[in-house]
Amino acid sequence: MKKFFCILVFIIVFLQTSFSQSLFNPDGLTLIEVTFENSNWDQQLDDFYAADLNERLLATVEINGESFDSVGIRYRGGATYDAAQGKNPLNIKLDYIKNHDYEGTETLILNNGAKDPSFVREVLSHDIANQYMPSPRANYAKVFVNGSYHGLYVNVENVDKDFMALSFNSNRENTFFDCSPDGTIDPPGAGCTEGIGSSLEYLGASVECYKDYYDKTSDAIGGWNELVNLTNAIGTNAGDIETSINIDRAIWMLAMQNLVVNLESYIGAAPENYYLFRDENDRFNTLPTDFNETFGGDAELEEGQADLTLSELQNLDPLLRLNDDTRPLLKLILQDARYKRQYVAHYRTMLQEIINSGWYATRAQELVNMISAEVTSDPNKIYSEAQFNANLNSTTTIDYNGAMIDIPGVAELMNQRLTYLLAHAEFMKTPPSISSIGHFPLDVTPNSNNTITAEISNADYVYVGYRSNLTEIFQKTEMFDDGNHNDGTAGDGVYGGDIFVGQEGAEYYIYAENSGSDVGAFSPKRAEEEYYNLTTFGDVVINELMASNSTTVTDQDGEYEDWVELYNNTSTSINLNGYYLTDDANDLMKYQFPNVTIDGEGYIIIWLDNDPLQQGLHADFKLSASGEELLLVNANLQVVDKVVFGAQTTDVSYARFPNGIGEFVAKVPTFNMSNGLGSATIDLAKELGIKIYPNPTQDFLTLEIKEGEDLEVDIFNTLGQRIRSFQLNEKMQLDIADFGNGMYWLSSRGRILGRVVVQK
């Protein structure tokens, strides 16, 4: 699974923290020291801002001890910038003149916490969003200028082409819109309707109708026409709307904005603060931004009308704008019966996991404790220490552009909001129950049909969403309790649905609904952002690859090149003469292996450097660090293994875990050696008659072994970390209440016993 099973984004963040002081360390402060040549740097930056020419002032910048010269800095921000205040938002471009970056980041975005006396809203909201959808990371930065402490900032990951390519596994040059109009809105031209912000209303057939409301940040040809087509499809509620926009991502974004009362967003007075990015499937994807006024920091629901009161914010309708033609995307979702049930299901998940659990309050207090000393000593803080200390729990009055306004306390708002939502009719319904998820047959064969099964109650319609890899759209096929889909007896509550498992396996989730009760549920609960996996493997597999090798390992000529590692899952040597490697499914014979043998349970490295004349195994193509596919083809031109990967992080490999048979995860490179958990065989479990159930599970796991056997068992997470060891004898129940959601591997004697999914 994606985040659910700790791959890619989460692991990359983990690795960055492990290798160095992470730029976005969630549990610590980033230290940034700026040195300008002149002491009047503030006036110069104010002058540049006033001229609006995007000019930058040169400086030397040190980030967590690493120094960069010739860096370009400018002030940024709209309402958060004020020439009279000491601390203004900063845009720091490390690669302004030289090719600098810190952990792959070239531009730093530093916000000053304006309109948030608590100083937690922005970081807390990004922490929430990142659990359910692609979103920038954020933490705090302590900034010094010319040797003196200048102030505490919110450090937010820059959303640019590279960020979008990584988030949506796509080409960085795809169509990309910033949906936050900040210029003058001219009267509509001929054939155009007047709009309201970036509302996705259809304003007319001409692209000129849209240019005041959206900012196209890519050079993609036809991008404006694609936006026009999208608004038309939304406005007409096209039956194939999911070919135009990723509805699931939109639902997650809109549900979160409502839950945390963020009216400076699509749901507020002026639809804004999100991005649109077109992926490789020609679908637009939404991505939220600008969280400094979440938790009621902005109380304007309609332009020209009075701000909402605290009570009105606390009781904001979760189905807000159900019939609002000026918010066509939200109206489409809430008026379509299935989309509405899915919206409520996603909303319910965040309500329970973030608010009702108390997670948000605990995290908010952690943030306050982390920054309290820095806020106290901040010489340019916008709000007083008393306002900072009060606003987590109580309404605080601030001077905002000459007007005195009330900013609700975060807990003050959400405590009552929780009471209101739990009593709301939509959240008092009993959703379907989905459990005991499995598949048949147990041995997953590439390019074959497999049945997904689950025990489901309180549902009259069920489907399984599935795809071969993360670059594809989830296809949906109905599941049945009719006795004809490997589901047992008709009416027994076990549902079955057939999916096609490709060469690289399958990713899937389950959705169930009860139309009579008008309620739905997902498994895993965070689908489609998270999903289950069916993994395939053969005798010889692609085991590990690196598409961006800067410092990890060199070839025999001392060059850092792309590479791939193959592994032999059998105990017998296999000759690869006549096999091929390719990154093009239309050209299966791109690189042909010479007469070379891979030992039983052995490894072999091929350098993918487009330099086939070098000594050793060097293919005549390279990998793309922005993501592509790699195929292993046998002498009969049959694809025997395939991996599709998204944008890669420099010096982080993409590898099977466990070694030889597992799912691909981003990890510390293990060049020409095991990726972890030893042997790929699981015959030991059969040999010892071990039973592991229930699977998936929540808080307890039962294990059985043949009488008289005694076994040392280790449990590993998907990072390869051993988190529990115990002695197994006959039958025992293991308390795993402290395990988080995800996949875990059981191992003994260096051999794998099985895997367990924890789903709470």
The CATH number of whichever domain residue 753 belongs to comes to 2.60.40.3080
Q: Are residues 328 and 229 in the same domain?
A: yes
Rounded to two decimals, the pTM is 0.83
Last residue of a domain, one of 599, 634, 667: 667
The model's pLDDT over 358-410, given as tens digits with 9 standing for 90+, comes to 999 999 999 999 999 999 999 999 999 999 999 999 999 998 878 899 999 99
What's the residue count for the chain?
Answer: 760
Q: Are residues 261 and 292 in the same domain?
A: yes
Task: Tokens for 8, please give them.
Answer: 């890619």
Tell me the Cα Rg of the chain. 27
- Determine, yes or no, domain membership for 396: no
Q: If DSSP codes are grouped into helix, strand and coil, which group holds residue 93? A: strand
- Determine, yes or no, domain membership for 4: no
- Reference 280, options 12, 469, 529; nearest CA is 469
CA distance 532 to 499: 13
**Model pLDDT, residue 417:** 98
Residue type, 314: Q
Q: Are residues 530 and 546 in the same domain?
A: no
Q: What CATH code is carried by the domain that includes residue 494?
A: 2.60.40.10
- Determine, yes or no, domain membership for 399: no
Q: If DSSP codes are grouped into helix, strand and coil, which group holds residue 252? A: helix
**Which residues on adjacent β-strands are paired with residue 325?**
none
- Determine, yes or no, domain membership for 458: yes
Q: Which residues of 322-336 are buried (b: 16+ CB within 10 A; e: fewer)?
A: eeeeebbbbbbbbee
606 and 617 Cβ atoms separated by less than 8 Å: yes
720 and 745 Cβ atoms separated by less than 8 Å: no
**Model pLDDT, residue 707:** 66
Last residue of a domain, one of 534, 550, 584: 534
The model's pLDDT over 535-580, given as tens digits with 9 standing for 90+, comes to 888 899 999 999 999 999 999 999 999 999 999 988 899 999 999 9
CA distance 8 to 4: 11
- Determine, yes or no, domain membership for 625: yes
CA distance 478 to 511: 10
Task: Tokens for 701, please give them.
Answer: 């796991």
Task: List, in order, residues 6 or more apart from 734 with CB less than 8 Å away.
Answer: 700, 701, 702, 703, 724, 726
**Model pLDDT, residue 750:** 59
Q: Strands 138-145 and 29-36: what pairing?
A: parallel
Q: Domain containing 183: what range?
A: 170-365+417-427
**Model pLDDT, residue 625:** 86
The H-or-E segment that residue 340 falls in is helix 337-350
- Determine, yes or no, domain membership for 71: yes
CA distance 336 to 588: 44
Q: Are residues 135 and 209 in the same domain?
A: no
Say which residue the tokens 């049930």 belong to.
Answer: 341
138 and 123 Cβ atoms separated by less than 8 Å: yes
Q: Are residues 184 and 125 in the same domain?
A: no
Q: Are residues 222 and 355 in the same domain?
A: yes
Say which residue the tokens 């009781």 belong to.
Answer: 315
Q: Are residues 519 and 556 in the same domain?
A: no
494 and 440 Cβ atoms separated by less than 8 Å: no
Q: Are residues 332 and 440 in the same domain?
A: no
Task: Tokens for 513, please give them.
Answer: 């609904």
Q: What CATH code is carried by the domain that includes residue 606?
A: 2.60.40.1260
The H-or-E segment that residue 107 falls in is strand 107-111
Surface-to-core class of residue 693, CB atoms within 10 Å of its CB (0-12 exposed, 13-18 middle, 19+ buried): exposed
How many domains in the chain? 5
Task: List, in order, residues 6 or more apart from 59 with CB less than 8 Å away.
Answer: 34, 35, 36, 37, 41, 71, 72, 73
432 and 512 Cβ atoms separated by less than 8 Å: yes
- Determine, yes or no, domain membership for 675: no
Please report which residue ranges of 577-696 form alpha helices under DSSP H: 683-688
Q: Are residues 652 and 691 in the same domain?
A: no
- Determine, yes or no, domain membership for 676: no
Q: Are residues 206 and 337 in the same domain?
A: yes
Surface-to-core class of residue 188, CB atoms within 10 Å of its CB (0-12 exposed, 13-18 middle, 19+ buried): middle
> What is the mean pLDDT, run by run of 10 residues, along the chain of 760 residues?
37 38 89 96 96 94 97 94 95 96 92 96 97 95 98 97 89 94 84 95 96 92 95 91 97 98 97 96 96 97 95 98 97 97 98 97 97 98 96 94 91 98 98 91 84 96 94 95 94 96 89 98 94 86 94 93 95 94 92 95 95 93 89 90 86 88 83 75 62 83 77 75 79 86 74 76
Residue type, 79: A
Task: Tokens for 79, please give them.
Answer: 């309402």
Last residue of a domain, one of 511, 534, 557: 534
CA distance 370 to 350: 25
Say which residue the tokens 């020409």 belong to.
Answer: 672
Q: Are residues 150 and 267 in the same domain?
A: no
CA distance 31 to 613: 47
Q: What is the DSSP letter of 308?
A: P
Question: Edge-to-edge strand order for the sheet containing 591-592?
Answer: 591-592, 580-582, 628-633, 639-645
Q: Are residues 278 and 356 in the same domain?
A: yes
